[in-house]
A = this chain, B = another copy of it.
Amino acid sequence: MSSTPRKRAERKTPAERRTEIATAARSLALGEGLSAVTLRAVAARAGVTPALVAHYQPSMDALIAETFDAIVAVEIEEVGALVAERRTPPERLAILVGTLLDGSREDVTVVWVEAWALGRRNESLAASVRHRMDAWQSVIVGIIDDGVETGDFGPVDAAAAAWQLLGMIDGLNAQALVRWDGAGERDTLTTRSVEGLLGLRPGALAPHVVGGAG
């Protein structure tokens, strides 16, 4: 009547098993946070023994880093695809900000926040965090560069502005993790801030194009 009567796990290809464990770790991280990605928890979710999880990873630090990396990679890919659907830089920026601030990614935000904290004691994780932050920044730089070229945006330092915007988004999302009331005006106010950041006149960004229902 206690734990599930575990029969021996089917013998699988290393690649398969590796994937299963990675998947288990990811789902755990998204559901309970990165700090829940523990040897035994991952093993339980994957339906195998803790020893097996350890067998496939040099250390838990590495598995945690890998898990963070995978989750954020998907995030970037998804949002990147959404951005690519838009044609003009202002539209792209608006959809990016709107999507990242729509509050539908709390699970990923938790992973980010925990990664910042855990990264201070997990060098592999810290490296992944830096890597993925660079990746995010690159996406934004691409948009801003385009906009500067087309004249949609003012002549700003794209790299610096991208870091700035990324920081804003991260901070607002982290804040939303704690402050229930929530999204509210975040999108609107962020848009105004970005207008200031990029040297646009008020209202230049994010007209009806974005949330357009109909």
Q: Are B160 and A189 in contact (CB under 8 A)?
A: yes
Beta-carbon contact of A133 and B170 below 8 Å: no
A20→B19 CA distance, assembly (Å): 50
Q: 10 extra interchain contacts, Cβ-Cβ under 8 A, other than A168-B172, A171-B172, A195-B196? A: A110-B120, A129-B178, A133-B175, A160-B185, A164-B185, A164-B189, A167-B174, A168-B193, A169-B171, A171-B174
Instruction: List CB contacts (< 8 Å) of A92-142 with chain B.
Output: 110, 113-114, 116-121, 126, 129-130, 133
Copies in the complex: 2
What 10 A-B pairs come out closest when comparing CB atoms? A196-B196, A171-B171, A167-B172, A117-B117, A193-B193, A170-B171, A167-B171, A164-B189, A160-B185, A167-B175
Docked Cα-Cα span, A179 to B171, in Å, equals 15
A181 to chain B, nearest CB (A): 9
Cβ–Cβ < 8 Å partners of A177 in chain B: 116, 120
Any chain B CB within 8 A of the CB of A149? Answer: no
Binding site for B on A (CB under 8 A): 33, 35, 110, 113-114, 116-121, 126, 129-130, 133, 157, 160-161, 163-164, 166-175, 177-179, 184-186, 189-190, 192-197, 199-200, 202
